[in-house]
Amino acid sequence: MRFHKLSLNYSKTSYMHIRPSGKQLYDFIVKSNENTVSQTSSIKYLGVYIDNKLTWSDHVTNLEKTISCSVGIFYRTRHHLKEREFKSVYFSIAYGYLKYAIGAWSGVGKTRLRRLNVLHKK
């Protein structure tokens, strides 16, 4: 497909059905110029992982991995920094990840956020 001399890269293009859990959608095939566009159940968009049921579980899992790496940095530097410096390191490394796009994924249930909360408090 060409429009204004642009072409679609089919190896990087995918589509996703967003649906509530319990609802089944019929599978269909998306084609353009004899090229098939693949279907995905989760996608990363502007640093936020969106899944097809809007449960945000992929995003929270990714946050858990990122924050657990940060906890290791905090653990190794805790004896070398004053409290004020330690807070500065926390806000520069971990806090931004937690606050980024929180308006979108903040509706996640308490049980799903339990591990992330434990990591945050470390």
pLDDT in tens, 41-85: 899 989 999 988 888 888 989 988 888 888 887 788 778 888 888
The pTM assigned to this predicted structure is 0.73
Mean pLDDT over each residue of the chain, to the nearest integer: 82
62: CB partners within 8 A, 6+ apart: 49
Reading the block at residue 54, the tokens are: 């809007």
Average pLDDT of the segment spanning 109-117:
79
pLDDT score of 2: 57
Reading the block at residue 114, the tokens are: 């339990």
Report whether 89 contacts 74 (CB < 8 A).
Answer: yes
